[in-house]
Amino acid sequence: MRVIADKAYSSRAIRQHLRRRGIVASIPEPADQAGHRRRRGSRGGRPPAFDRTAYRQRNVVERCINRLKQWRGIATRFHKKARYFQASLTLASILLWLRT
């Protein structure tokens, strides 16, 4: 399993939480965190692993979510029951797929 997140989720606590559960994280390291780590020298530890090719897939998911949110019922979670929401999500996905 893999988590692909933006720089806002790059903290030691989050990375440690994911690592304990056996989840691989693809989270870029912010410049300030890298600077702090370098400033500490050998006590700063290794830079966290980052897979650039996996991170590029995040763009595809973000664009798909943004397209789906153009549907008012999906963006506001209009339906109370999960199966109705799932049905509207499936319908919107099919219609978006047919348009492309």
Higher pLDDT, 36 or 92: 92
Sorting pLDDT into bands at 50, 70 and 90, what band is 67?
A: very high
* Total length of the chain: 100
Q: Is the dihedral of CA 28, 26, 65, 77 positive or negative?
A: negative
Q: Could you give the CA distance from residue 34 to residue 54 in angstroms, rounded to a whole number? A: 21
Query: Dihedrals φ, ψ of 26, to 5°?
Result: -115, 85
81 pLDDT band, cuts 50/70/90, is very high
Nearest to 29 by CA among 53, 1, 49, 57: 49
